Chains A and B, each alone.
Chain A
């Protein structure tokens, strides 16, 4: 097999995986934030995030005919999705999780599954009222174009990408930039502000933080707000990346993002990002395993195609939980009796 064909192909797969991984990473942050504070897997997060995607769709649909700048449309979509998803997440916490604080761990988990199902059908109902099921994003002009493929005005980055044969669209670049910006903001909020300090205190020890004058309920609500807002961002990015969403399509990316959070060490923000990126690449690699099999002459690999890529994250999850349950960057948590 010729290296000159294989190498750009591999690079493309990895770059595509990394871009996908940024979406997973931002979703995973929503899980990790909530888990860090409440030790609860917020199953409903995948629906919170798909709500963000739906809101983004609606914004793009409404603004479709306006002559507004495409980036401004995206900004409006992001802000609207952040608001709706964040408030939805706070509402869920207030109505479903807060009354159950202090009950056995199984109880809020089952509630979370229930909330997730309720949200799925509610979303489908709301969109169904208008006769829609699959929501196809109509993006502003230019978002779907190849990044710097037509002219050489955008050198040197475009030229470099072209020489190594990477196929990147403008929306992929936007996606990565938005992810990095939200990561930076989140990092600032959690590590540099008073609010972040209070949230960290609550996540460490809720009772003692309460004694220090921190309103733990308020901080938990704030965490849910931030987690939901990140879900909104990731929803819009997800819609941008895949083009089509429906009320039920949150499940798969949700579960992959959860795996990413566990892989990186749940509760750890850099871990979530690392896990998301890794899983994006792994999933892309499994999806093209058959091409590798054909290229390299392994007949057994050639049956593994994109339909198997769903299994990848679960296998990774099983392996990581067996061999390093704390995740790659997680702290070990010794259970005290």
Chain B
């Protein structure tokens, strides 16, 4: 059985298609959709438009307008156009038109932040699934780690924790703190020493055991230190009743990245020996474990009630600047987060592109293609996979923190399996391994989830013959499932495919192989080897060169 795909010309002899210049179209599209977006979010104008206004107010139409507007950025990326036009469209739509429309309708800002949060999540998962080929179904766990890292400290929760330790001090005090510090130092030192020893002589059973023991000692030491710090600090519980100073936001931006990366490594260490389906199921399990813990560790996470209110950073100069531009007091924090998320996602994208071209990126792709061959060629498997896990996790961590700051409320329900699968369907829809595709997938799925489906639900609520139980708004599982299945069956490389993945998935068109005879690992064999990040061979190069 072959994958049902349209026949494709052999890429090695295909001439590059010359794209027509579409500068004019791009600018025209940008202006039209921007005007449409601005008009449809201006209540005064809408009222004067009469029947057209009520059409524009319809939720489904509004979602369509927003999608068309966001398509600007996509077209600026895809179409061949003058660079100045691309720049105007990109900067104009993201920095001017969207905030301007968001001034009249904050839900638009909210939506764009959500799209970008999911885009960053999808970019992170894309590293794990798309580049390194490790199917992670518990990805949302890292998102939860980032979110809880900030929200415990930036909410009344922290005061509650301190109060608890104040009333249950046990025997911990400054003496225990000293003991814990000594224990931590000794065990950490011995772990480093044993590790150094392993570099020189082969590890023995005894040295392995003592390493493990030292690890447990380190854990105990850190727990002791943490607990005694909490007890010693419990005196200031009342002062922290509203959480820590929001100025610590920037520190926690770094801390949440670190926390998520550490959890990524901790989860990765035991499970990354596994492959394929086993890895998928075990990451799914660990994701669920983190959710159950969040549900049950009531002291720290407030259980299923969730933590609220969560503060975000206060940036006085930004607020006064935004205030001068005519935004309302309640819009300051949303706009601040919007700009912040925009910057963060730009950084993440940059990191992604650089990583993809680096040694690590090539090692990831080597592992994805054939683990054993990669190992034979000297790629350190465990280390490379752990880096993939930690990188993906750290993106999720920072976005989790921003998500918590935006929502001002989090509960374990935001981090269930469906969220992981939502992010996975973004990656699959856009195209595994392709950055632009993944962002597109995130935008499409988020719009579908937050605007189009609720819009349809609202529209159908007034239709008498549709019972409430079958409201389209409740069909998001069906739609994600359909996306996953349809993409896998019809276009496994995604909407905006990564060139390399597309060739891999369609390489029975290029060359003979036995994968169609039911050999499941067929795609791991044969095929030409291209450089991982950028193709160094031009598409129209003849094999063997010109002689």
Interface residues of A (CB under 8 A from B): 39-41, 96, 98-111, 113-122, 124-125, 128-129, 131, 133, 206-207, 216, 251, 255, 258-259, 262, 307-308, 310-311, 313-315, 317-318, 321-322, 325, 335, 337
Contacts and interface: CB of A to CB of B under 8 A. Distances in A.
Closest 9 CB pairs of A and B: A114-B484, A117-B481, A128-B469, A314-B285, A121-B478, A118-B481, A114-B485, A114-B481, A102-B515
Contacts of A107: 488, 492
Contact of B278 (A124, A129, A206, A325): A325
Contacts of B474: 121, 124
B483 interface: yes
Contacts of A315: 289
B417 to A, nearest CB: 7
30 contacts: A99-B489, A101-B520, A102-B1, A102-B516, A102-B522, A104-B504, A109-B135, A109-B276, A110-B424, A111-B484, A111-B488, A113-B484, A114-B425, A114-B484, A114-B488, A118-B477, A125-B470, A128-B470, A131-B467, A207-B517, A207-B518, A251-B417, A307-B292, A308-B292, A310-B292, A314-B285, A318-B270, A318-B286, A325-B278, A335-B372
A104 B277 CA distance: 12
A176 B380 CA distance: 49
Interface class of chain B by DSSP: helix
Contacts of B3: 99-100, 103
Nearest to A129: B470
B519 A207 contact: yes
Nearest to A98: B1
Contact of A117 (B4, B271, B480, B515): B480
Contacts, number: 167
Residue with the greatest number of chain B CB neighbours at <10 A, chosen from A40, A98, A103, A129: A103
Contacts of B516: 102
Interface in B121-154: 129, 133, 135, 137
Nearest to B297: A303
Contacts of B504: 104
Nearest to B425: A114
B271 A321 contact: yes
Nearest to A114: B484
A61 B4 CA distance: 43
A206 B271 CA distance: 30
Contacts of A317: 281-282, 285
Interface in B506-547: 515-524
B274 A96 contact: no
- Count class of interface residues, chain B: 35 or more
Contacts of A322: 270, 273
Given A103-B505, A113-B484, A318 B292 contact: no
Given A106-B135, A118-B481, A325 B274 contact: yes
B207 interface: no
Given A102-B516, A307-B295, A308-B292, 9 more contacts: A99-B4, A102-B518, A106-B129, A119-B481, A129-B467, A255-B281, A318-B285, A321-B271, A321-B282
Given A103-B492, A307-B296, A308-B292, A255 B284 contact: yes
Contacts of A110: 135, 424, 428, 484, 488
Residue with the greatest number of chain A CB neighbours at <10 A, chosen from B373, B477, B505, B517: B477
Contacts of A307: 292, 295-296
B498 to A, nearest CB: 14
